[in-house]
Structure 1
Amino acid sequence: MVHLEIGIVGLGKMGANIALNLADHGHKAVGFDCSGASVAAAAASGIEVAPTLEALVEALPMPRVLWVMVPCGEPTESCVTSLLEILDKGDILIDAGNSFYKDSQRHAAMAAEKGVRFLDAGTSGGKSGARNGACIMVGGDRSAFDHVEPALKDLTVEGGLLYTGPAGSGHFMKMVHNGIEYGMMQAIGEGLAVMRASGFDYDLEAVAHNWNHGSVIRGWLMELMEAQLASHPDLADIRGVVAASGEAKWTVETALDLEVPVPVIALSLMERNATQIEDSFCAKAVSALRNGFGGHEYVGLDGQNHTSAEEK
């Protein structure tokens, strides 16, 4: 069995669990993080930590393998740029975060200028997947993939590793994956909202449990929904504010460029954006218009229903 030494840049929940997963399979993982808290937590769990990025690179045998798992955008840009300044020809740089695929194509070109082999690895399965078996979709340099494939197989569940082709294709696939995820979660939420409003007094935890045993819509998301309803009865302690991390937006924008209709993904993204606005001006405008043309009641600042502006 081939065992590799891999440098992990980013020791948050995903990166630290990847390092531990690698160690479980006999590989050696050395980590680095700018956060003192993340470094302390990683060290406490047994992960070897380098004091600087340079020290991390120096600690690895050639060809060096660097696994970058930091937030997309500027953190990834800064990390890739810094590593390309200190890596040598033949080294392997893996971006395993949720980067935009066009950024990955650009980073691959930057790496190629230095002779560094670049891989973009879309990683799915959350922190439990990172620790116990993930789904990874990898684009980029084929020789680099062949070199790290033994470690990637150990990191993934059976059937959960796919080499997708040229640079950018791994992150493109992960982008679409996350867009689908948005639509699926929105559908589950909407369905449970209808059940809750039905008047039948359903036990929603039991509903999710039932749907996850033999039904067409069974799956991990339904398992998570059941678990969340068990931990948070009726979700009473959770506000209905949902962040959008960017991948669905990229999916919708890319679909528009490709002239492929994606109404479910687009609407799920709009719904998430709407949750960020507690007192939407758009909703105010629609309410005012309904009052204007049809005399429909609107809710005033006093919380009461009104039928015309004159009542104020």
Structure 2
Amino acid sequence: MDLGMIGLGRMGANMGERLLRGGHRVAGYDPGDAARAAAAARGIEATQSLATLVEALPAPRTLWLMVPAGPIVDDTIAALQPLLAAGDAVIDGGNSFYRDSQRRAVQLAGDGVGWLDVGTSGGIWGLEEGYSLTIGGDAALAQRLAPLFAALAPAPERGWGRVGPAGAGHFAKMVHNGIEYGLMQAFAEGFAILQRKQEFGLDLAQVADIWRDGSVVRSWLLDLCAQSLHGNPGLEGIAAYVADSGEGRWTVAEAIDLDVAAPVITQALIERLRSRDDDAFADRLLAALREAFGGHGFKRG
């Protein structure tokens, strides 16, 4: 099956290479010269523009977007839409907000162009391990493109599936990432407690390795914890600053809208926000209040 990949960064190029290994033809476009050259070196047919990419594909064309969520997705679709014809399909495999995906599906449907939003998980390991894919959009279109999903997934019969109409794929991925926030925070806090108990001199990498087999907390995230701790036990050179891609915020907002209590995910998001404040005004005010009402001293900085 032929596919046009738009966005040849690490994730897009890895996905393209996995499809090539599955016997599919992949042409791609990226505005960056270096990204195009790197993709071409991996066997992807790098084109010089969106127009030449579309021209290189037989009808009905399938274009897979792997670009950052937000305005760039709308800009790319706006540039693509005049080049496409009824029966063509656009897939967004990035971390777009699900309501944007619903809107984009309606926009493309006006020209008879199909839409699928595919929540894609697997990160940099997906090339070898496969990608988890939650697919939103028309069932018949998802079925037609099933060979692509089967090639990208960990196995043809598992790790992927259509989960609902347009927007559902990205909604499921949004909640997936919210869960991920909570799991990561729990591991981080647990290992911080182990690290602080100096009297036992615990080898954190060893503990992680033991838990990887038989333990109820064994998981891929724990595997990655062990890998990180073996490579850098003191986490030297890593700043205590944790970014977020926005998916956790969207998950918390949805939980509030739906009256669903989600304290773990919410607190994990708050901890990420706290990690970015080296001089928290709120904490300094707390210290001042303790001194004001109780005469408790405070540390001067």
Decide: shared fold, TM above 0.5.
yes
Corresponding residue of 2:206: 206
Query: Is contact 1:132-1:155 (8 Å) kept?
Result: no
Give, as a single letter, the amino acid of the residue that structure 1 aligns with 2:216.
V
Corresponding residue of 1:244: 244
Aligned match for 2:13, one of 5, 16, 28: 16
Corresponding residue of 2:23: 26
Cα deviation 1:82-132 (Å, max 9, x = unaligned): 212211101010000000000000000001111000000000011211454
Corresponding residue of 2:116: 119
Aligned match for 1:86, one of 73, 83, 87: 83
Corresponding residue of 2:192: 193
TM-score normalised to structure 2 length:
0.97
Return the alpha-carbon distance in structure 1 between the equivalents of residues 58 and 174 of structure 2.
33
Corresponding residue of 1:38: 35
Return the alpha-carbon distance in structure 1 between the equivalents of residues 237 and 45 of structure 2.
38
Instruction: List structure 1 runs of 4+ shifted beyond 3 angstroms.
Output: none
Aligned match for 1:143, one of 136, 140, 143: 140
Q: Does 1:176 align with 2:187?
A: no
Query: Is contact 1:18-1:131 (8 Å) kept?
Result: no
Return the alpha-carbon distance in structure 2 between the equivalents of residues 131 and 221 of structure 1.
17
Corresponding residue of 1:166: 165
Q: Does 1:68 align with 2:31?
A: no
Paired-residue identity, %:
46
Cα deviation 1:119-152 (Å, max 9, x = unaligned): 0000001121145411000000122111110111
Cα deviation 1:235-290 (Å, max 9, x = unaligned): 12211100011000000001100010100000000000111111111111111112
Where does structure 1 lack aligned partners over 5 or more consecutive residues? 302-312
Where does structure 2 lack aligned partners over 5 or more consecutive residues? none
Aligned residues: 298
Aligned match for 2:48, one of 42, 45, 51: 51
Q: Quote the offset at 1:207 in angstroms.
A: 1.1
Return the alpha-carbon distance in structure 1 between the equivalents of residues 59 and 203 of structure 2.
57
Cα deviation 1:144-179 (Å, max 9, x = unaligned): 111110111111013201111100000000000000
